[in-house]
Amino acid sequence: MSQTAKQATDLRLPPERAGRPAPAEVAARREGMTGAVAAGTWRTTPAPEETSLDGVRVLRFRPSGPARGLVLHLHGGGFRLGCPEMIGPYAAALAARCGVEVVCPTYRLAPEHPFPAGLNDAHTVYRALRREGARPLIVSGDSAGGGLAASLTALAAGEGAAPAGLILLSAWLDLTVSAGSYWTNAATDPLFSQESAETAADLYLQGHASSDPLASPLFATLEGFPPTLVSLGEGEVLADDARKFHAALQAAGVAAQLQTVAGMEHVAVTRGLTLTGAAETFERVAGFVDGLTQAG
* Catalytically active residues, by annotation: 143, 236
Which one, of 115, 112, 230, 107, lies nearest residue 172 by Cα?
230
CA distances from 22 to 28, 53, 55, 163 (A): 10, 26, 23, 33
Tell me how far apart the alpha carbons of residues 150 and 47 are, in angstroms, rounded to a whole number.
Answer: 28
Question: How many Cα atoms occupy the beta-carbon half-sphere of 274 within 13 Å?
Answer: 0
- Sign, Cα dihedral of 139, 142, 147, 148: negative
β-partners of residue 104 are 59
3-state secondary structure of 212: coil
Tell me how far apart the alpha carbons of residues 75 and 58 are, in angstroms, rounded to a whole number.
Answer: 12
Tell me how far apart the alpha carbons of residues 279 and 231 are, in angstroms, rounded to a whole number.
Answer: 13
- Sign, Cα dihedral of 280, 285, 288, 289: negative
Which one, of 154, 170, 178, 151, lies nearest residue 252 by Cα?
154
Tell me how far apart the alpha carbons of residues 260 and 232 are, in angstroms, rounded to a whole number.
Answer: 5
Q: Backbone dihedral region of 11: left (phi > 0), alpha (psi from -120 to 50 degrees) or beta?
A: beta
